Amino acid sequence: AQTVTQSQPEMSVQDAETVTLSCTYDTSENNYYLFWYKQPPSRQMILVIRQEAYKQQNATENRFSVNFQKAAKSFSLKISDSQLGDTAMYFCAFMKPPISYNTDKLIFGTGTRLQVFP
């Protein structure tokens, strides 16, 4: 069975600074997908970034980037130039690829609460 571990329950950072959130996972699959979701106080789940395991290049989305280390089964999220609006819970998630055109479920970590201070 797949598991996702986020070892940092809480993190804080000053605005305009950079912060890295950690995530490790365990799987015997060779191909899969990894995601970071953001959940602000509104509780809406917002996709931040995704990474396909077969791609060696790390994904980036504006101020958000990942460091994907497949051999180490590590998938960290770097937030550059942090903003107050980045304050939220961040969840790392794993998904196996679709089989026979059937999307699989997301397996979530326990989350990291990020507080951005002015």
CB of 115 to other proteins, least distance (A): 18
Nearer to other proteins, 49 or 79 (CB): 49
Nearer to other proteins, 11 or 45 (CB): 45
Q: Count Cβ neighbours within 10 Å for each residue of 36-48 and write b for 16 or more, e otherwise.
A: bbbeeeeeeeeeb
- Which residues contribute to the site for other proteins (CB under 8 A)? 33, 35, 37, 42-47, 50, 52, 91, 95, 97-98, 101-103, 105-111
Q: Does residue 54 sit in helix, strand or coil?
A: coil
Q: How far is the CB of 106 from other proteins (least distance, A)?
A: 6
Q: How far is the CB of 77 from other proteins (least distance, A)?
A: 16
The alpha carbons of the chain give a radius of gyration, in whole angstroms, of 14
Q: Pairing state of beta strands 74-79 and 46-52? A: unpaired
